Structure 1
Amino acid sequence: MAVYVYSIVGTTHLQRLDGLDGVGNPPSTLRTVHTEKLSAVVSDAPEELRPKRRDLAAHQAVQERLMADGTVLPLQFGFTTTDDDAVRAVLEDRTDEFTERLQALEGCAEYHLKAAQDEDALLRQILQESDEARRLNDEIRSGSSSPELPLALGELVSQEVQAREDQLAARVLDALRGFAREERSSQVTGNDFLSASFLVERDNEKSFLGAKRDLAKELGEDFDLRLIGPLPAYSFV
């Protein structure tokens, strides 16, 4: 039967799995696969595995329980392989890599930040600060019949939005990266101009959270900074 893999820890990790269920319906039983230096938490994989709420919660519960007792390499939801021997072979082949990564994540948690600016406020700012955008907008509002004006204004605004959002993203990262051991940026969606994960040492969490609060106050009410964490360090495995 295929094996579902949750996470990798050192063999000295407590690995307290009592009271936890694995993915699947009915829930699978959790177990560990060991090598000399590493252990993987696994279960039998259900025949049909989909990101349902119960299974996502079961996956996350394993990570959180393990995090409470030490450093974890959390795998993303849905990772499966053929059997326990295949898991053991990977642990043996990549012992040095996984051990180094566990050391890099020791004493840390992930925080994920998404940032957006109110679209209307950004457009107002562009019209106030860009002479060319203001001129084009005034001509259009005055009733000019030139069909090229709206297109020119749209292209100009699009360029301004991208440039300003790039500057804002850099500003946010600069304000927070000094409080994190590592950072990873990811693809933005919707109106966000930033999506980034920070690997933060537990002893530095208060400073990191304080810096985020200070930044939110500095940017003002037109900005939405959404911070989630502490999380398993999925982005840094």
Structure 2
Amino acid sequence: MAVYVYSIVATDHPQRLDGLDGVGDPPTALRTVHAKKLSAVVSDAPEELRPKRRDLGAHQAVQERLMADGTVLPLQFGFTTTNDDAVREVLEERTDEFTERLQALKGCAEYHLKCAQDEDAMLRQILRESDEARRLNEDIRSGNASPDLPFALGELVAKEVEARQERLAAAVVDALREFAREESASRPTGNDFVSVSFLVNQKDEKRLRAAEQELAEELGEDFDLRLRGPLPAYSFV
């Protein structure tokens, strides 16, 4: 039967799995596959696995339990392979790589930051600060404008938004990166213009949170700054 892999830890990690279930309906039983220096937490893989709330929760619960007892290389939801022997073979072949990564993650957790700005506030700011945008907007509102002006204004605003958000994103990340060992940016979605993960040492977590709150106050109520963590270090495996 195929094997679902949750995470990789050192063999001396406590690997407490009591009271936890694996993914699937009915839930699968968790077990460990051991190599010389590394172990993997696995279960049988359900035939049809989808990212349902219960299964995502089971996957996350394993990571959080293991994190409480030591360093973990968490795998993303849905990783499967053929059998226990295949897991053991990978652990043995990539022992040095995984051990090095475990050392890099020691004492750390992931914090994920997202930031958005109210669209209306951004538009008002552009109209205040851009003479050309303000002129186009006034011409349109006069009722005597060319039919092409709304398109021209929209194109100008779009370019301004992109440029301003790039500068804001760089400033936001720069304000917090001193508290991180590593960072990993991803493409923002929706109204967000920042989506970045920080690998943060436990001793720097309070400082990061305090700096994020100070930054939120500095940016003001037109901005929505969200910091989630501590999380399993998915972005740094």
TM-score range, shorter chain: over 0.9
Identity of aligned residues (%): 79
**Residue 125 in 1 paired to residue 134 in 2?**
no
Cα separation, 2, equivalents of 1:30 and 1:145: 68
CA drift at 1:226:
1.1
With the length of structure 2 as denominator, give the TM-score of the two structures: 0.99
Runs (5+) with no aligned partner, structure 1: none
Tell me which amino acid in the other structure corresponds to 1:129. E
Cα separation, 1, equivalents of 2:54 and 2:157: 44
Give 3-state SS (helix, strand or coil) of 1:146's partner: coil
Give 3-state SS (helix, strand or coil) of 2:36's partner: coil
**Residue 180 in 1 paired to residue 214 in 2?**
no
What is aligned with 1:99?
Answer: 99
Tell me which amino acid in the other structure corresponds to 2:188. V
CA drift at 1:63:
0.2
8 Å CA contact 2:139–2:145 kept in 1: the answer is no
With the length of structure 1 as denominator, give the TM-score of the two structures: 0.99
Cα separation, 1, equivalents of 2:150 and 2:44: 59
Could you list the structure 1 runs, at least 4 aligned residues long, displaced by more than 6 angstroms after superposition: none
1:21-36 matches, cutoff 5 A: 21-36=21-36
Tell me which amino acid in the other structure corresponds to 2:12. T
CA drift at 1:145:
3.5
What is aligned with 1:219?
Answer: 219
Cα separation, 2, equivalents of 1:123 and 1:146: 21
CA displacement, residues 15-35 of structure 1 (integer Å, 9 cap, x when unaligned): 001111111111111110111
Cα separation, 2, equivalents of 1:154 and 1:52: 40
Tell me which amino acid in the other structure corresponds to 2:172. V
CA displacement, residues 61-114 of structure 1 (integer Å, 9 cap, x when unaligned): 100000000000000000000000000111111111111110110000001111
Tell me which amino acid in the other structure corresponds to 2:31. R
What is aligned with 1:66?
Answer: 66
Cα separation, 1, equivalents of 2:87 and 2:236: 20
Cα separation, 2, equivalents of 1:11 and 1:34: 7
1:9-88 matches, cutoff 5 A: 9-88=9-88
CA drift at 1:49:
0.6
Give 3-state SS (helix, strand or coil) of 2:8's partner: strand
Tell me which amino acid in the other structure corresponds to 2:32. T
What is aligned with 2:202?
Answer: 202
Give 3-state SS (helix, strand or coil) of 1:68's partner: helix
Cα separation, 1, equivalents of 2:52 and 2:150: 46
CA drift at 1:144:
2.1
Cα separation, 2, equivalents of 1:144 and 1:234: 56
What is aligned with 1:160?
Answer: 160
